[in-house]
Structure 1
Amino acid sequence: MRILISGASVAGPVLAYWLTRYGFAVTVVERAPALRKAGGHAVDLFRPAMDIVDRMGLAEAVQSRKTGTEWLSFLVEGDDRPRTVEVGRLMRVMSDRHVEIMRDDLGEILYEATRHDAEYVFGDSIASLTEDADGVEVTFERGRPRRFDLVIGADGLHSNVRRLVFGPESRYSTWIGAYLAVMSIPNYLGLRDRMTGLTGVNRMVGVYGGAHLDDARAIFMFRPEAELDYHHRDVARQKELLREQFAGMGWEVPRLLGEELDRATAFYFDSVTQLRMDTWSRGRVSLAGDAGYCPGPAVGGSTSLAVVGAYVLAGELAEAGGDHTRAFPAYEQEIGDYVRRSRAFAVGAAKRLIPATPGALRTMKQSVWLVNHIPTPVARALTSLGARGLRLHDEITTKDYQSHLTPRTSVPR
């Protein structure tokens, strides 16, 4: 059975890994001309995702590439006293098992684990999909037309597959009040094991390095009064908006938005947008990861959700013997609660990360004291009173599809 996956970031390679081990023939098409190494940003893998990484035999590789961020220090506008929290203590409030890793590093690990078993086609994209009773005829922007039994869109928030099959993104996207920008800069602050920054009402900025990074990342999050008008490929306009939103902010911001922004080797800007689809499967096509259920970049644990979603989709296809009419509904049923809870969590997280009022800013400062001074089990209990679902990732359990692995591809448990 031939399955085409669009997207080679995270969900796509995880899906390819498991599908090939269940005996499916997999092709992954990626618009980028090569494996993406465009700077990237740090992403989080929580317990259920790390358990899946373990089953893939990749835990050691992922651990070896963790960012190594141990401290989070930030100033508050109008207050010269820095607040510092140990990242390990903070994450233990949220999860019993967690790794922070650069997205590009994770993508490279997943690609290396799958490139010998799945066919990868770089520098191309799906142009059209025509479904009939026997499969899907796929045309590409560059390559020759091909037929597949199933097509999976794992091509991110601005999914091309979703647009072709379900219609424009505007039907399903909901802006949840914030924007995110990330850029690669020289590590002129000498950061290796910490993130440092400045936060104020409706805006925050941070800079972090990493154990394996030669450069650093600057991250900006802000909450404007209304949704901004720009095109997601208009970088000049995005930089202009960023400078407007952070005008007058102190600390390192003038330098970051001056010379560093002008010469940044990589720049990313997007709304913190949530996808709300009642179903993410239609006919012989389904969606995985951000393409189908992005809870919101940087606020909803979307990378962990993508890993779990891809694993479940592959497992349900194996359990159904490739019958998509059974597998796709089972897949959506299996992860539906996780998707809905991630959406709810992301809306609250966006508010907590970017305080909208002076009172919310004071609450953030008090939370740092709480994490630093109260034993983790107590902090978990107290924090959950004001942050519903804080441990939602650790509360997710996944099915074991091990019995469907082909004999020659048994993987470590």
Structure 2
Amino acid sequence: MNERILISGASIAGLTLAHWLARHGFQPTVVERAPAPRTGGNGVDVRDLAVDVVDRMGIWPAVQAAAADVHGMKFVDARDRVTARVDTRTAGAIEIMRGDLVALLLENTDVEYLFGDSVRGLEQDENGVSVTFENAAPRRFELVVGADGLHSNVRSLAFGPEERFLRFKDHYFAFADADSALGENRRVTMHNTPGRMTGVYRSGNHAQAKAYFMFRSAPLAYDRRDTAQHKRLLRDAFGGDTFWRVPELLAGALDDPEFYFDALSQVHMPTWSTGRVALVGDAAWCASPASGAGAELALVGAYHLAREIVAHREDHATAFARYHAAHNPLVRKKQQIGPNVRLMVPKTAGGRRVRDTLARLPLMRAMAAAEQLAQSARRRALPDMDAGSAAPHIPHTR
């Protein structure tokens, strides 16, 4: 009946999947490399179909209450003079800090958790998957789902090296905590030089601000687990900038133990499953932080996967195929990030001036509002979860 399911990754996609499977009588186990739930991260958007997902989970009021309350972006010159403002608020959508959303999902997902551990090996046969862990004893599951991010361990074990699936998008980015005095409340303040962006994110409902960096570059050789090396790369890119708030933001980021650095990359795969192993979230389709759609895709994709597993309990191949068919069109749309990157990191000084001029035009704001209305009218309703064959939920304990 494919009831025992291992989910690798305790972030948005993995927890959403675990919630819906447990709610319909399955026995998910969530394994997470981190020793405890990850509380950090940047602001993420819950919008469109993702709103329906969290509403059906019963946490939409809590998501609204925890909203970051960011009104938009502003662009500034080296003397901190505003060159343009963009309102990013969308009716019916909420921006929330990633850690806050994860905490709400954890509160509402009653399953077995294995923190401080990770999958070491997978061996499939026609009846299930034998799994070995870094720390826990070997276990047997009917299905395994990798929800473990851009550099997915499950994907490497089941599909092959990540180089086959990652597509580098010519930029690197970093974020870290920042002094809240360095930015305007309820705004993302950005400063650009050709091919580079430095910004500070100030939530209206959180005391802690976030520093953001992005720079255009040819591929760099580095160890993705070596934080000290990551900090050197960021210092090399921005250490010579002595204007605006760059020195203060850079110094704070380099001192932050939660500093995060990575390539701006996407994941492109012809299929998200192989045998009894499937992928969800960034592990399957990462659209990159430049898409602004990571949480939306994770929530909606995990819901689709759970729905198909519920509807096809004894036929995982059909469930995985239908999940891919249902979610892939939204993924392909959100992976079209070119305009977003040009907005945040213009290649030239001339491109920056064009961006600022367009952002100030009332016509551009009206066109953006019209596009939002058109997208809302085009989007399909979220299909109902097939509860007809669901058994009553019995919390699973180890």
Question: Is 2:352 aligned against 1:339?
Answer: no
User: Is the 8 Å Cα contact of residues 8 and 31 (structure 2) preserved in structure 1?
Assistant: yes
**C-alpha separation in 2, matches of 1:16 and 1:81:** 47
Q: How does 1:300-315 map to 2 (within 5 A)?
A: 300-315=292-307
Q: Name the CA shift for 1:6/1:346 in 2 (closer, same or farther; >3 Å).
A: same
**C-alpha separation in 2, matches of 1:251 and 1:270:** 24
User: Is the 8 Å Cα contact of residues 174 and 273 (structure 1) preserved in structure 2?
Assistant: yes
Query: Secondary structure, in 3 states, of the residue corresponding to 1:143?
Result: coil
> 1:63 maps to what in 2?
64
Q: How does 1:74-93 map to 2 (within 5 A)?
A: 74-77=75-78, 81-85=81-85, 87=87, 90-92=88-90
Q: Name the CA shift for 1:149/1:190 in 2 (closer, same or farther; >3 Å).
A: same
> 1:20 maps to what in 2?
22
**C-alpha separation in 1, matches of 2:155 and 2:269:** 11
Q: Name the CA shift for 1:393/1:324 in 2 (closer, same or farther; >3 Å).
A: farther
Q: How does 1:237-316 map to 2 (within 5 A)?
A: 237-246=229-238, 247-248=240-241, 250-258=243-251, 260-316=252-308
- The residue type equivalent to 1:293 in the other structure is W
For residues 111-151 of structure 1, what are the alpha-carbon distances to aligned partners after superposition, in whole Å with 9 as ceiling and x for unaligned? Answer: 1110x3x1111111111111112111111110011110000
Structure 1 residues 280-289 or 247-256, which shifts more? 247-256
**C-alpha separation in 1, matches of 2:343 and 2:4:** 44
Query: Secondary structure, in 3 states, of the residue corresponding to 1:303?
Result: helix
Superposition deviation, residue 298 in structure 1 = 3.4
**C-alpha separation in 1, matches of 2:80 and 2:179:** 25
**C-alpha separation in 1, matches of 2:165 and 2:46:** 26
**C-alpha separation in 2, matches of 1:86 and 1:402:** 41
Q: Name the CA shift for 1:75/1:272 in 2 (closer, same or farther; >3 Å).
A: same
> Structure 1 runs of 4+ off > 6 angstroms?
none
- The residue type equivalent to 2:89 in the other structure is M
- The residue type equivalent to 1:75 in the other structure is V
CA root-mean-square deviation:
2.4
> 1:165 maps to what in 2?
158
Q: Name the CA shift for 1:156/1:188 in 2 (closer, same or farther; >3 Å).
A: same
> 2:342 maps to what in 1?
351
Query: Secondary structure, in 3 states, of the residue corresponding to 1:121?
Result: strand
**C-alpha separation in 2, matches of 1:71 and 1:173:** 30
Q: How does 1:132-211 map to 2 (within 5 A)?
A: 132-189=125-182, 191-211=184-204
Superposition deviation, residue 4 in structure 1 = 0.6
- The residue type equivalent to 2:64 in the other structure is Q
**C-alpha separation in 2, matches of 1:27 and 1:243:** 40
Query: Secondary structure, in 3 states, of the residue corresponding to 1:85?
Result: strand
> 1:367 maps to what in 2?
358
Superposition deviation, residue 255 in structure 1 = 1.8
TM superposition score normalised by structure 1: 0.88
- The residue type equivalent to 1:160 in the other structure is N
Question: Is 2:92 aligned against 1:97?
Answer: yes
Superposition deviation, residue 190 in structure 1 = 6.8
* Structure 2 unmatched ranges of 5 or more: 394-398
**C-alpha separation in 1, matches of 2:313 and 2:42:** 37
> 1:398 maps to what in 2?
382
Superposition deviation, residue 377 in structure 1 = 5.0
Q: Name the CA shift for 1:233/1:125 in 2 (closer, same or farther; >3 Å).
A: same
Percentage of identical aligned residues: 42
Query: Secondary structure, in 3 states, of the residue corresponding to 1:188?
Result: helix
User: Is the 8 Å Cα contact of residues 77 and 244 (structure 2) preserved in structure 1?
Assistant: no
**C-alpha separation in 2, matches of 1:255 and 1:403:** 53
For residues 35-55 of structure 1, what are the alpha-carbon distances to aligned partners after superposition, in whole Å with 9 as ceiling and x for unaligned? Answer: 112x31111122111111111
Q: Name the CA shift for 1:262/1:273 in 2 (closer, same or farther; >3 Å).
A: closer
User: Is the 8 Å Cα contact of residues 154 and 288 (structure 1) preserved in structure 2?
Assistant: yes
**C-alpha separation in 1, matches of 2:234 and 2:375:** 32
Superposition deviation, residue 360 in structure 1 = 2.3
Q: Name the CA shift for 1:337/1:184 in 2 (closer, same or farther; >3 Å).
A: same
Superposition deviation, residue 340 in structure 1 = 1.5
- The residue type equivalent to 2:200 in the other structure is V
Superposition deviation, residue 280 in structure 1 = 1.2
User: Is the 8 Å Cα contact of residues 7 and 29 (structure 1) preserved in structure 2?
Assistant: yes
**C-alpha separation in 1, matches of 2:60 and 2:349:** 42
**C-alpha separation in 2, matches of 1:394 and 1:104:** 31
Superposition deviation, residue 402 in structure 1 = 4.6
Q: Name the CA shift for 1:196/1:349 in 2 (closer, same or farther; >3 Å).
A: closer
Q: Name the CA shift for 1:298/1:376 in 2 (closer, same or farther; >3 Å).
A: closer
- The residue type equivalent to 1:213 in the other structure is H
For residues 41-78 of structure 1, what are the alpha-carbon distances to aligned partners after superposition, in whole Å with 9 as ceiling and x for unaligned? Answer: 1111221111111111111111111111124222135x
- The residue type equivalent to 1:278 in the other structure is P
For residues 5-45 of structure 1, what are the alpha-carbon distances to aligned partners after superposition, in whole Å with 9 as ceiling and x for unaligned? Answer: 000010000001111122111111111111112x3111112
**C-alpha separation in 2, matches of 1:12 and 1:193:** 30
Query: Secondary structure, in 3 states, of the residue corresponding to 2:263?
Result: strand
User: Is the 8 Å Cα contact of residues 86 and 359 (structure 2) preserved in structure 1?
Assistant: no
**C-alpha separation in 1, matches of 2:72 and 2:6:** 42
Superposition deviation, residue 231 in structure 1 = 1.3
Superposition deviation, residue 390 in structure 1 = 9.9
For residues 251-286 of structure 1, what are the alpha-carbon distances to aligned partners after superposition, in whole Å with 9 as ceiling and x for unaligned? Answer: 01012223x234224200001101111011000000
User: Is the 8 Å Cα contact of residues 31 and 124 (structure 1) preserved in structure 2?
Assistant: yes
